[in-house]
A and B are shown apart, each in its own frame.
Chain A
Amino acid sequence: MKNALKVENLRMEFGGLVAVKDVSFELGEGEFVGLIGPNGCGKSTIFNCISGLLDQTTGTVEVFGQDVSENRPDEIQKLGLTRTFQLTRLWRQMTVVENLMVPPRKQFLSPESEAPMHRAYSLLSVFAVLASLSVVAYYAIGNGVFWSLFNLIAALGLLTGVIAFRLIEGKSEFDAATDRIESAFLPPLFVLHALFRPGSRAAEEERLAKAYSVLDQLEIPHMAHNLTSELSGGQSKLVDIGRSMMGDPQLLLLDEPVAGVAGPLALKIFNNLRKIVDDTGISVLIIEHNMDFILRQGVDRIIVMKEGEILMQGTPDEVRGNRAVIEAYLGAAGEPQEVEE
């Protein structure tokens, strides 16, 4: 099994406070792992280090085999990692459905499919450079002998531009590529894209349809047109989960995703997650305080933390039987108990 995530000797200090003490663990592809521990034991800090929000003091983080220790969050996200925050952070003055549409979709494409767009856009930038050069040349050199030179450069620039546009227009992979642009590739070209390619409306419709289907799954399609600032806490959590699914992630880090969500729905979401992991082979690392879910709802493995260190790792049954864990954290929840329905 390949590793989706590999954390090695991760250490995070804030001033003199050591929040995470040389933690190492791995997460295989298609694995569903719970991360538990008392409050303040460094779980969220680990998430922040992995996702690039914090720069760890020492140690390395690898996502799908690539060292991301010095990468920005958006670069890490492009490798397939999506995370949620413990305190739900939605874009509050935007509608629910718009929130869902922000994450770029289908961006974890193989490099080959990006090639034509790259070519087209590099040609376009050549055009831009040549055009501006020609203007500079004209005024720097003046109209005389070099007049013809200026014309030549301008003509060349125009030609490149035309070729680039033909490339964009003509390619059959265009729709796949549009999504690539919609992700964070060269934002200024959004101008060109928005102006010259209203045809990507099809892609937009597709994404909209997906957003609505996610809302259906989360049982809140009636809230689609509300601002997220109008949602209740539980509904916000749902939108957050939905939003993290919209980018088709390969590796999900969920920070207490169902805290505040009504019991039955939370259970359903948890089971859905399990199903998605089984169906699509994505990997999930989840922080959750509801021990019923963690211990009994099909998590593959549990990592227990205490005071910045890993206390133990193992299957739910192993964890449930471990005295140290019960003392440190589980208490009564470790004992057999019925799940509320």
Chain B
Amino acid sequence: MLGPVFDRWHSLSRGQRRTAIALLILIDANIGLLYGSGLLNQFDSISGGKIPNDMVWLLQAIESISGGFFLVKILFDDVAASWPRSIGIALSPLFILFIVGMTLDNLFKGLDDDVRITLDLISISTSTLTWSSTYLAIAVGLTLTYKVQRYGNFAQSELFMMGMYLSMVMVWSDYFFPLYDAPRDGTLAWSLLLWTVLAAFVLTGIAGIIIDRLVYRGFRKKETKPQVMMIASLGVALILRAIVYLRFGAGKKMFEPDADWRVPTLRWDIPTHKLRLNLGNRDLEEGQTYTHGPTIGECTEIDGALQPEVSGSTPLFDLYNAANDCVTEATTGYAYYKGAMPLVIFSSVLLLLILLRKTRLGRRMRAVADNPDLAASSGINVENIQMTSAFLSAGISGMGGAIFAMTLRFAPETAFTLLLPSFAIIVLGTIGSIPGVLVGSLIVGFVRALSSPVLIAIGHPLGRSNYTALDGVMPYIFLIAILMIMPSGIGAAYEKWKVDRLRRRAEEQPSKRLGGLLAISPLGALGAHNFQQRKNARGESMMIVSVGAYVFSRITRFISGNSFADGSCSNDCQASESSATNFEMVTGRTEGDFILEDSPFSLSDVPDPPDGLDATLHDQWLTDALSELNNSWLDLMNTELGLVDNLVSLGDALWPAVPLLVWIIAAFEGLYLLQGRDEDALRPATEFLNSLLAPVMQSRNSGSVAMTQALGLAKAPLDSFHTALYDSLDRFQSGFDRNQKYMLLAVLVIVLVSELPPFFGRALLVLGLLWLVGLTILAWRSGEGPLGELRRLSPHGRESPIGSWVLFLSVLVFLLLFVEWLPVAEVENHDFIKALQVSNVLTTLAIFTLMAFALNLHTGVTGMVNFGIIFFVGVGAITVGLLTAPKDLHGYDWPVFWAVVAAVLISAGFGWLLAYPTARLRMDYFAIVTISLGEIARVLLMGEPLLRAGSWGSAIGISRYKLPLKDWWFCGSGEHLSEAGGLLSSDECRGVVGIGSPAEKLGRSDIPVLDDRGGVIDGELLYEATWFSMDLGEPAPYMMVLAIIGVVSLILIWWLLETLLKSPWGRILRSIREDEEVAQHHGHDVLTHKAASLALGAGIAAFAGALWAWKLTGFQPSFMAPAKSTFLVWAAFIVGGAANNKGMVVGAFIIVLMEFVFNVLVAGQGSSDLPLHETAAKIDQLFEWLVTGSDLWFWPHTTPIETFLLLAALGLLINKSAMVELGFSGVAVFMATYLLLGERSIDESFVGGSILANMAYVKVFLVGCLILLSLKYNARGILPEVPVRPPRPTEGDAE
């Protein structure tokens, strides 16, 4: 019966089929929203209304919006190229906005509620500008790094952060402090701002070079894969962030170049239009009226300014001009300090674009980006270009950071919150395209600026006032949607369109006469004729020069208007009646120079004098300090005046002279065009310029030749020293045979063992013994001697199965000994606390190892770079928590086991589905999508009430869910009743002695035998001895159950994974990792295999999430922050060794132990009774040495600069360039720090001036170092992948 229908269906084209599906989705969703009768509602009623109502409409809203996006996708994919398609694509943003509006409208109608969304159009534009320029500052740096150095730089936001802190440092400097400290005077001061921006650009740029040389150059030399560089940059990011946290603290700070920058009157007042959307139920009740236009108080009194009132129903939308006379408040103010950001960033990006397009440096950079080898062979110094690009990309981000610091209070992690949207932008704009990044940033900025008021407006009526937090994730959601439509971003689509257009246009010849006329008209100054003549590059140059001159002159005018330059008068000055100029406002005089008496400081501004001065000296000190302050203020103001004057005269010189000059050139070009002469009007000028420059270039070249020669001369003695050194080393080495060397090593180990602290000594002894026993057995088994036998068993060292196991077990023994050694803070009750600690370590280990397993399956084996493991972990934790929380606390009260099953299945389902939309994405894009998913989940957990359980009210997160086996553990299998007769809870059971539960049996050695109600049996107290007791003195902790569950499931899952990876499936996954196209050509359905791999990993991650939730007993959004989860798992993955599960165990173990050691250190820092106090004190001392150059316990009277100089010298001596570079970089960094950072910075950064290292950040620092060093010196991890090397089957088996 259905046959014909199916036939008809299959006869439709793909586009028609998909359109039908999309429309069905759209209609179903909106019917569901409006009338509650969509498919989901039907399903809900079948299941007996178990689905929460909120979830139904939420899913339907998502369904509706996805339907809209699907329609756009069909337009892109299935409609043949034609003009309706182009128009459709151009209108698609409006269509999406329409769909969103319609969905919201239907949603509120369905809920019988209404919402008024008022959009201030100017305010949306200004915040679009602010946001997009903020993101752009990072995104442009990312793009440059991607383009030239070819990796995604996770540390880009940290460079931005460096810029922010540099601005702080400038404010704290002795030179600028008077300006920063001066009271408000209504006039902006510019010098601090300008110098800060410049300093941030240069210093961050230099930092970029240092980082590039120290870290990335080594990787480049080894031709490391971009993914590896990406992870290395993660390490750099962690290190930089940790340093800033350590040095400046986590407190929120702000950059104010001058007190006046934040005066509310200093702003542009822009008349605005407002758009009011009335969504949902629009019926007005009897007597209710709706007024068009502004509703601010007194407006209603003015005639003509307002539209008539309506009754009955409100209009859908209402656009009104808020700038009519009655409401001056309704203009939108755009503060000057906010405007600075877009101005500086957009103009510097334009400058960069010009640099790349028009200069020789730019051409070289593009050549290096295209093909470094080819560029090198055509005589370009690739390293120099790489350095320039590192400088520029870091510099621009740093500059952005410096100026961003003016707009918001910032802490070190502020920058990181901007990183992911910036990644979204570069993906959106096609990686590596700077125009794409400009457009992308505007789009993302707009999405964020628009979503913010909408979310605020709809949040309240929907009972989701936390939804304001969601505006931060809108860029990700938008990015994912765009990637579904255009898998290679906007830039690629634009390039394709441009190529097509050029090809079509190339066929027709432009008219020369029109071109000539255009050139002579004023439009010629904008290069219009060149665009008309298809000489776009020349046209661009002319336009840029003319417009640039105009913009520059506008900026300098603005600067002079808000400074003390002659006759200038700012907003404040115009408002005041008494004075006509800014200068008069401060000094009271109409003209002249600043004098000392104008200084705004009084005695109260001077800091307190040092203690112990007598009265006369005290007063003298104060007067001196004041006059010093006044003098430096005067200096500063005069410099400021000079600076502003120079800027203004430069601006005046450029405008209108430069555009006129351009126009003259254009006119010449026009004449040539009209005459039909095919010549370059500019040629004589350029030739003249070149002839002027030639001697300069020549002398530069000869200079560099001379320099090289001089260096060569200086190096000669050093070289002969190196030769001598290496010769003697060789002679020394060849003096021993192999056995003697092993002997020496053994002696060294013994010496070390006797010198080391007890733990390491013991650990080494145990390891050595094991090693000895192993060697003896091997020696006994074969006559070849132990080493020969070992080599035979594992011919490829740790890349052989046996070698890998041997190394794994050795490391594991070491780490287990470490756990045993790990001190605990408490002295009383030691055994119990230690048991708790060990269980805690093992549980955490199981959680992290499982996460690492999942990551390894996705990234190490299947080759999908997944930064979103935490998403699946979160799904697991949230599902388990929600399902097992009590019903009266918004939970579902499921048993734990089934909840785990559901969590694993749901997460696996998500994993499976993720494969489909991301199938066509490049590796980097996949990484960005997954990391975005993690962030979306985290923010949803903050804002979405459906994801809350376990508490009354609106506390965020999930808590009070069931913990597995907890009742059994503390209460045993019997039911125990309290005095009152009720059932004892598991926590109460723990307090009662004699229950005989597993916890008690394990923890206590003697348990009194009691009856059900805790009474003594037969009047006599009997004791039962348990033979397996750990004698902890109280019931064993619950964490022990988790540890057992964790370790057992860890082993099971490990076995499962190993079995799978050994099977043909593992082989297929590895072939997909290496080259998925070829795998597909050899008959494997790559997509499904990837989906299966994602699903399996996601399931494992979900189980890890469940375990994590149980360990934490309350799951908060903050646990999902990448720095606390994803990055740590990645560190474990890198350190342990990709594609080797044993490596995952080891890597996770190292990371987990690091965590625990630092917990002990934090405790030890405070009190001298606690373990590791001395270590903590030494770390503090080291830190103080780095900050102030004070004495170290083993290194007295040497500052860090001197130490690094020594290092560099040593490096020169033994000819290690890495050491030399490290030394000189250290010298540079510390020189800069000591120049910039004075006493004031210590007072501002450290409470009470006592310099202590915050151990949490020392840990982050070390994790970063671990990642970097591991990548650099042991790139494949401790336990690298063991390639499959099956031996040839014996003759009998193979026919």
Contacts and interface: CB of A to CB of B under 8 A. Distances in A.
Interface of A: 15-16, 51, 53, 72-74, 77-78, 82-83, 85, 89-95, 97-99, 101-104, 107, 132, 135-136, 139-141, 182-184, 186-188, 190-191, 193-195, 204-206, 208-209, 212-213, 221, 224-225, 227, 243, 247
A184 B1071 CA distance: 13
Contacts of B1283: 93-95, 98, 225, 227
Given A16-B500, A77-B1083, A190 B1071 contact: no
Given A132-B905, A139-B894, A195-B1056, A74 B1085 contact: yes
B1060 interface: yes
A201 to B, nearest CB: 10
B901 interface: yes
Nearest to A140: B47
A94 B1091 CA distance: 22
B538 interface: no
A73 B1075 CA distance: 14
A222 B1248 CA distance: 71
Given A72-B1080, A94-B1071, 6 more contacts: A85-B1078, A93-B1283, A184-B1085, A190-B1065, A212-B1294, A247-B1083
A149 to B, nearest CB: 13
B1092 A212 contact: no
B614 interface: no
B870 interface: no
A124 B503 CA distance: 57
B1084 interface: yes
A188 B1295 CA distance: 33
B1082 A243 contact: yes
A94 B1081 contact: no
A102 B1082 contact: yes
Contacts of B1295: 209
Given A140-B50, A190-B1065, A104 B1285 contact: no
Interface string B876-918: 0000000000000000101000100110010000000000000
A93 B1294 contact: no
A73 B1081 contact: yes
A191 B1088 contact: no
Given A208-B1289, A247-B1082, A188 B1092 contact: yes
A190 B1060 contact: yes
Contacts of A103: 1082-1083
| A-side interface mostly | helix
Given A77-B1082, A103-B1082, A208-B1289, A187 B1077 contact: no
A195 B1063 CA distance: 9
Contacts of B1089: 184, 187
B1096 interface: yes
Contact of A82 (B1065, B1070, B1081): B1081
Nearest to A132: B905
The winner among B500, B1092, B1283 for most chain A CB atoms within 10 A is B1283
A306 B1065 CA distance: 43
Contacts of B1289: 205, 208-209, 212
A190 B1093 CA distance: 11
The winner among B901, B905, B1081, B1286 for most chain A CB atoms within 10 A is B1081
The winner among A82, A141, A187, A225 for most chain B CB atoms within 10 A is A187
Nearest to A209: B1294
Nearest to B1096: A191
Nearest to B1087: A72
A205 B496 contact: no
Interface in B42-76: 47-48, 50
B1063 A94 contact: no
A74 B1086 CA distance: 8
Interface string B1052-1090: 000010011011110110110111011111111110110
Contacts of A188: 1092, 1095-1096
A188 B499 CA distance: 44
A247 B1071 CA distance: 15
B1293 interface: yes
B572 interface: no
Interface of B: 47-48, 50, 496, 499-500, 503, 892, 894, 898, 901-902, 905, 1056, 1059-1060, 1062-1065, 1067-1068, 1070-1071, 1073-1075, 1077-1086, 1088-1089, 1091-1092, 1095-1096, 1281, 1283-1286, 1288-1289, 1293-1295
A209 B1081 contact: no
A131 to B, nearest CB: 10
Contact of B901 (A101, A135, A227): A135
A94 B1070 contact: yes
A82 B1074 CA distance: 19
B1063 A194 contact: yes
B563 to A, nearest CB: 54
B1063 A193 contact: yes
Contact of A98 (B1060, B1082, B1284): B1284
A83 B902 CA distance: 43
Contacts of A102: 1067-1068, 1071, 1079, 1082, 1084
Contact of B1074 (A74, A92, A221): A92
Contacts of A194: 1059-1060, 1062-1063, 1065
A77 B1081 contact: yes
A243 B1078 CA distance: 11
16 contacts: A15-B499, A78-B1083, A82-B1081, A91-B1074, A98-B1283, A104-B1082, A140-B48, A182-B1064, A187-B1085, A187-B1088, A190-B1063, A190-B1064, A208-B1286, A208-B1294, A212-B1294, A224-B1288
Nearest to A102: B1071
The winner among B1064, B1071, B1281 for most chain A CB atoms within 10 A is B1064
B1077 to A, nearest CB: 7
Contacts of B503: 15-16
Contacts of A182: 1064-1065
A94 B1074 contact: yes
B901 to A, nearest CB: 7
Given A91-B1070, A190-B1092, A205 B1293 contact: yes
Contact of B1080 (A73, A104, A187, A212): A73
B777 to A, nearest CB: 26
A183 B1083 contact: yes
A338 B1078 CA distance: 37
A184 B1088 contact: yes
Nearest to B901: A135
A102 B1082 CA distance: 8
A224 B1091 CA distance: 31
B1084 A104 contact: yes
Nearest to B1091: A187
B49 to A, nearest CB: 10
A334 B473 CA distance: 67
Contacts of B1062: 194
The winner among B500, B1073, B1078 for most chain A CB atoms within 10 A is B1078
Contact of B1081 (A83, A90, A139, A213): A83
A184 B1070 CA distance: 14
A21 to B, nearest CB: 18
Contacts of B499: 15
A187 B1092 contact: yes
Nearest to A138: B898
A98 B1080 contact: no
Given A94-B1284, A190-B1064, A195-B1059, A72 B1085 contact: yes
Contacts of B1082: 74, 77, 82, 102-104, 243, 247
Contact of B1084 (A132, A139, A184, A225): A184
A132 B902 CA distance: 9
A237 B1096 CA distance: 35
A183 B1082 CA distance: 10
A86 to B, nearest CB: 13
Contacts of A193: 1063, 1065
A20 to B, nearest CB: 19
